[in-house]
Structure 1
Amino acid sequence: MNAPSAELRDSGGVRPNWEKTLTATTADQTHALAACLASVLEAGDLLVLSGELGAGKTTFTQGLGEGLGVRAGIISPTFVLVRIHPNLPDGSRPGGPDLVHVDAYRLGSAAEMDDIDLENTLDSSVTVVEWGHDRVEHLSESRLEIDLHRAMGLGAGGLGATADDPGATNGGMLDFGDEDTDEPRTIVIRGYGPRWPAVPEPVATFEGKA
């Protein structure tokens, strides 16, 4: 387990129980890490996904979907606030939870997040919220926060977009793509609340193999 560092940010006024930093050298490894993590996810789990445009958020969510055995077709949800991917009876985890994929980029506050009624699906699904920092912490005291960073901090537009300034690509025009290329990624995972007292085994033992 990586102990929380002195510089570690609080989230919703709460410090994490642990922090784990991993490296994925290819998009396939990002996908594989998420698929491994999915094996320990349960209905009610909340994941907050952050990262510059093109950092691999969609690839990571696709890996989660594969591991959870939900319906395929996971794409960047930018133009649709919420997508529900139902569990498949002939998938890898029949009878498991659905996957709810949310894009909070255009939501300016936690109050606006409440307007999309995630509470209706939170207890029965695994919920993944992109751009959810400072918007969803009130939904659950337990959550995983996952930050993906591309090498050199470059976004899809190649001009250094960041999670705090996603509009920095293309001369200030938003690039809504999340194209994932085979550049190394640093993936930082933090666990909050009683659900995540320690690093889950698939994360602790992940060796960057696709």
Structure 2
Amino acid sequence: MEAPHSPAADTAAAFATRLTIDSPDHMQELGRRLAVLLRPGDLVMLSGELGAGKTTLTRGLGEGLGVRGAVTSPTFVIARVHPPLGDGPPLVHVDAYRLGGGLDEMEDLDLDVSLPDSVIVVEWGDGKVEELSDDRLRVVIERGVGDTDDERRVVTVSGFGARWAAEEQRTDLDGLRELGEA
């Protein structure tokens, strides 16, 4: 099931890179590599059908950020905070699948308060959390059309806002392609 379409998701990305991921292990590795680029205040929105690999990617982000505890889907609790083991930022992992649209319903989660000091990852966040930050990453995970390999995914990582428009950030995002070309 796809997340609902949102006009806010259509704003032009500063940069996007597309790659093919062949296994859950590679999806987790993508998360670890992406984590190196993240800092406190970053918002990452994940889109993809159920079972696409959003939580697997987030598990890799957690490993890369060095957070405490296993990263699991927050479907029933809506949000989990994973504190850092060292000096890094906490990871706030949100599953907005069961929430309605807009920040109003998500206000109780205090994401705007957590954002400056944390990395916030929101599954199913399209149309719900874009207002939190002009600078954000959007990761879309898709199964290849007509693909018979159940584990293969096409992943598009798009950077929005001035932070991701910087040449250094674009180069870093483009470097993710070494995991697989789409």
TM over 0.5: yes
TM-score (norm 2): 0.86
Higher helix fraction: Structure 1 or Structure 2? 2
Q: Which of 183, 186, 190 is matched with 2:158 structurally? A: 190
Aligned to 1:136: 129
Q: Does 1:204 align with 2:174?
A: yes
Q: Distance in 2 between matches of 1:31 and 1:201?
A: 21
TM-score (norm 1): 0.75
Q: Note the aligned Cα RMSD (angstroms).
A: 2.1
Bigger-Rg structure (1/2): 1
Aligned residue type for 2:101: S
**Aligned-pair distance for 1:203?**
3.1
Structural mapping, 1:57-96, within 5 Å: 57-89=54-86, 95-96=87-88
Q: Distance in 2 between matches of 1:128 and 1:153?
A: 29
Q: Distance in 2 between matches of 1:126 and 1:182?
A: 30
* Count of equivalent residues: 170
Structural mapping, 1:1-210, within 5 Å: 11=8, 14-89=11-86, 95-110=87-102, 111-152=104-145, 183-197=151-165, 198=167, 199-206=169-176, 207-208=178-179
Aligned residue type for 1:190: S
Q: Distance in 1 between matches of 2:16 and 2:146?
A: 20
The SS at the match of 2:31 is: helix
Aligned to 1:159: none
**Partner deviation per Cα, 1:119-159 (whole Å, 9 max, x = no partner):** 221110000000000000111010000001123489xxxxx
Q: Distance in 1 between matches of 2:9 and 2:145?
A: 28
**Partner deviation per Cα, 1:151-176 (whole Å, 9 max, x = no partner):** 3489xxxxxxxxxxxxxxxxxxxxxx
Q: Which residues of structure 1 form unaligned runs of 5+?
A: 1-8, 90-94, 155-180
| Counterpart contact for 1:26–1:184, Cα < 8 Å | yes
Q: Distance in 2 between matches of 1:143 and 1:203?
A: 13
Q: Distance in 2 between matches of 1:15 and 1:202?
A: 19
Q: Distance in 1 between matches of 2:30 and 2:81?
A: 22
The SS at the match of 1:128 is: strand
